[in-house]
Amino acid sequence: MGASETNEARAVALHADVIVDAMRRGLELARRGPARGVNPQVGCVILAADGTVLAEGWHRGAGTAHAETDALSQLGPGAAAGSTAVVTLEPCNHTGRTGPCAQALLDAGVSRVVYSVDDPGQRSRGGADRLRSAGVDVSSGVLRSEGEALLGDWLTTARLGRPIVTAKWAQSLDGRAAAADGTSQWVTGPDARADVHARRAAADAIGVGTGTLLSDDPSLTARTSSGELYPTQPVPVVFGHREIPDSAAVRHHPHALVHLPGDDLAADLVGLHALGIRSLFLEGGPALISSFLTAGLVDEYLVYIAPVLLGGPHTALTDIGVGSISDARRLTVDDVHTLGDDLLIVAHPKGHA
């Protein structure tokens, strides 16, 4: 290889290193934005032809400038012409509270766009194709695994178009959620209950049916073992048509109650997703969880099993549309935990990623 070829190869390698370094910086910037809500965390770095950083930006939350627009806003007219935009997520291609980032990059004269993760949104994706059709050099997949890890559940919910649904219930060894007289406090012990509350605190929303709400009057909060509220609380969601009394404990929740009819659970989930809810923690009762299960809308199961026998009619699930063993809803067990005297089985529908 001649000297000129060696220098050219080094220049290409250096350029690749510059792009990777800029993407790492973009991921750092993205983490400054809110981790929850309807929008993803996104960072952007604008590079000059020689690799100099011209501007940086990140998304600060719903209704604010997207990362690309935020970075471009720091440059004067024409300053971005011929530059490279390094973005952690494919530039969006739709108009919401803000305009499409793909068009903003075109208007600024950016000649190259490099991004980490493809946008899976039905409305927002397509920015890469729009840019390519206008003559912009576009490449993707730089630090993809890091980009996907950053986006986390936003990426999953964007692909699903709804929140991730976790169904939780506690039961006796013989599959009962309550004794014959209806009492259910407490089927499981304190270690299991503490685990439940920690998982509540990690969820965006917690859901119950009106039957459970009216019979048990739950507060739907996440509390520590000492009874104090966790710093983060799930939004309370109640499914069903029956009225919720003004005196209900859930009326005193730190977040406003979301009351949904429950007639079309898939549509209800789309509505929750539009509110920025990425994860829904279903607490019951058996009828509501069975309805979600039957509709194929449960992504994860948390089954707390106490070493007690109760008998009686109060089963943990109701009819789930299984008429024969061939119709059984098969699960894949992901983990088994011992919590005091109880067991926690974590599982997901077989064949469901």
Neighbouring residues of 319: CB distance < 8 A, sequence distance ≥ 6: 290, 294
CB 114 within 8 A of CB 142: yes
C-alpha 24 chain-centroid distance: 22
Q: Residue 56 CA to chain centroid, in angstroms? A: 26
Q: State the sign of the Cα–Cα–Cα–Cα dihedral 20, 26, 28, 31.
A: negative
Instruction: Kindly list the catalytic residues.
Output: 68
Exposure of 283 in the CB half-sphere (CA atoms within 13 A): 28
Taking the CA atoms of residue 65, residue 70, residue 76 and residue 82 in that order, the dihedral angle to the nearest 10 degrees is: -120
Residue 100 burial (C-beta neighbours within 10 Å; 0-12, 13-18, 19+)? buried
Concatenate the DSSP letters of all residues of 226-278 into one string.
Answer: TSPBPSS-PEEEEESSSPPPTT-GGGGSSS--EEE--SSHHHHHHHHHHTT--
Q: For residue 79, give both structure tokens.
A: 């300053």
CA–CA distance, 61 with 38 (Å, rounded to integer):
8
Report the residue count for the chain. 353
C-alpha span between 172 and 178 (Å, rounded): 8
